[in-house]
């Protein structure tokens, strides 16, 4: 019997790529999205697929469906979007986790919770292993997302301990690629859109803060491997450990796009982390997973996608 997999946030950047992969693997896919940040264009090519179904729904409301596995990806993931309605962001993370864990409990389904590197906050340990508890401002403007995701992790492990729910928890580090929202405010999409439009490229602080960028195909492979294995519940870091300064990223985008945009500097936002790099020792050992796509190669694919967006 073909398994049915629920993907919440399935019309989003990551969710749509995951739906593609699960269909390719022969699964029935139930995609749930409220289209707050997800876009129908991301899944338009799937709407006629015989094993794909779309439901418009907010995960902070209960959902009664018959599924075998759940990927809970629903939540705005960029600062512009999650700070626009911080209460809704917290509700999506916390009530969404409660509802999806409750569904997993009822269905005896395995659930993978998409957590985030933001649970580490502005880290005082570098790189960040899963054992690090983080350095997070609980009342700052980013807390709706950071604390929402931390609470979702707590709920997963309490449902695991108390109700024996079959959980998997991953912590996603900066991911980029085609289908990113062009106005999501994240650094890769920002730089590419500004470069293609000939606008100044905006760097915050001195541009020396670092990030580690994982191409979407690599991340989806790690997510699927995490869901399919039976030995580790997590949390599990998934990201590319290669570290780049934000200025290096900007200069690479300028070179690959051929843009003449200038670099401009703005004050650093509150609680913006200075360093972010995953320790993926556990993922290498348990999942036999390591990112394969180099930053420059992934940026070329992403730039190609955004050229089409700009020309529309």
Instruction: Give the chain's length.
Output: 312
pTM, full prediction? 0.96
Strand partners, 7: 31, 71
C-alpha to C-alpha distance for 164 and 179, rounded to whole angstroms? 36
What is the b/e burial string over 136-145, where b = at least 16 CB atoms within 10 angstroms of the residue's CB? beeeeebbbb
Strand partners, 60: none
Confidence of residue 268 (pLDDT cuts 50, 70, 90): confident
Tokens 């794909």 sit on residue: 52
Distance of CA 172 to the CA centre of its chain: 6
Distance of CA 61 to the CA centre of its chain: 22
3-state secondary structure 23-67: HHCCCEEEEEECCCCCCHHHHHHHCCCCCEEEEECCCCCCCCCCC
Name the pairing type of β-strands 210-212 and 243-245: antiparallel
- pLDDT for position 37: 93
Quote the tokens at residue 268. 């650093």
- pLDDT for position 183: 86
- pLDDT for position 312: 80
C-alpha to C-alpha distance for 258 and 272, rounded to whole angstroms? 29
C-alpha to C-alpha distance for 46 and 39, rounded to whole angstroms? 13
Quote the tokens at residue 123. 């880290």
Domain layout of the chain by residue ranges: 4-177+213-240+278-292
- pLDDT for position 81: 83
| 166-191 residue pLDDT tens | 999 999 999 999 999 998 888 999 99
- Nearest CA to 235 out of 168, 175, 284, 174 is that of 168
C-alpha to C-alpha distance for 174 and 46, rounded to whole angstroms? 26
Contact 223, 289 (CB under 8 A): no
CATH of domain 4-177+213-240+278-292: 3.40.50.720
275: pLDDT strictly greater than 90: no
**CA dihedral sign of residues 80, 257, 301, 307:** positive
159 is catalytic: no
C-alpha to C-alpha distance for 109 and 70, rounded to whole angstroms? 7
| 222-232 residue pLDDT tens | 999 999 999 99
- Measured distance between the N- and C-terminal CA atoms of the chain, rounded to whole angstroms: 42
134: pLDDT strictly greater than 80: yes
| 278-306 residue pLDDT tens | 999 999 999 999 999 999 999 999 999 99
Catalytic residue among 145, 159, 160, 215, which? 145
User: Using alpha carbons only, what angle is made at residue 238 by residues 235 and 239, rounded to the nearest 5 degrees?
Assistant: 145
Please tell me what DSSP assigns to residue 95: H
What percentage of the chain carries pLDDT values higher than 70? 100
| 46-97 residue pLDDT tens | 999 999 999 999 999 999 999 999 999 999 887 888 888 999 999 999 999 9
Helical ranges in the chain per DSSP H: 13-24, 40-43, 79-84, 86-107, 143-163, 187-197, 216-228, 246-257, 281-287, 295-311
Contact 171, 237 (CB under 8 A): yes
Confidence of residue 150 (pLDDT cuts 50, 70, 90): very high
Strand partners, 91: none
Compare 271 and 289 and report the one with higher pLDDT. 289
273: pLDDT strictly greater than 90: no
């Amino acid at each position: 019997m073909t398994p049915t997999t629920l993907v919440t946030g399935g019309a989003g950047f990551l969710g749509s790529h995951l739906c593609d992969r699960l269909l390719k693997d022969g699964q029935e896919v139930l995609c749930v999205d409220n289209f707050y940040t997800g876009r129908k264009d991301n899944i338009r090519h799937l709407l006629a697929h015989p094993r794909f179904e779309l439901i418009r729904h907010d995960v902070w409301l209960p959902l009664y469906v018959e599924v075998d596995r759940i990927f809970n990806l629903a939540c705005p993931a960029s600062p512009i979007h999650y700070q626009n309605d911080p209460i809704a962001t917290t509700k999506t993370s916390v009530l969404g986790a409660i509802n999806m864990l409750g569904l997993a409990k009822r269905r005896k389904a395995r659930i993978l919770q998409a957590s985030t590197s933001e649970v580490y906050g502005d880290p005082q340990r570098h790189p960040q292993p899963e054992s690090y508890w983080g350095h997070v401002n609980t009342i700052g403007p980013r807390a709706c997302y950071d604390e929402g995701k931390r609470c979702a992790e707590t709920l997963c492990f309490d449902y695991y301990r108390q109700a024996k729910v079959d959980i998997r928890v991953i912590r996603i580090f900066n991911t980029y690629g085609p289908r990113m929202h062009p106005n999501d405010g994240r650094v890769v999409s920002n730089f590419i859109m500004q470069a293609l439009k000939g606008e100044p490229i905006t760097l915050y602080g001195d541009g020396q803060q670092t990030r580690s960028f994982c191409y979407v195909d690599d991340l989806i492979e790690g997510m699927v491997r995490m869901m399919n294995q039976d030995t580790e519940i997590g949390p599990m870091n998934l990201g590319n450990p290669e570290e780049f300064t934000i200025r290096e990223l900007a200069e690479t985008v300028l070179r690959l796009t051929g843009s003449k945009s200038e670099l401009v500097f703005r004050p650093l936002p509150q609680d913006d982390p200075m360093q972010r790099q995953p320790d993926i020792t556990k993922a290498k050992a348990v999942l036999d997973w390591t990112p394969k796509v180099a930053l420059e190669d992934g940026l070329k694919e992403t730039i190609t996608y955004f050229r089409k967006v700009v020309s529309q």
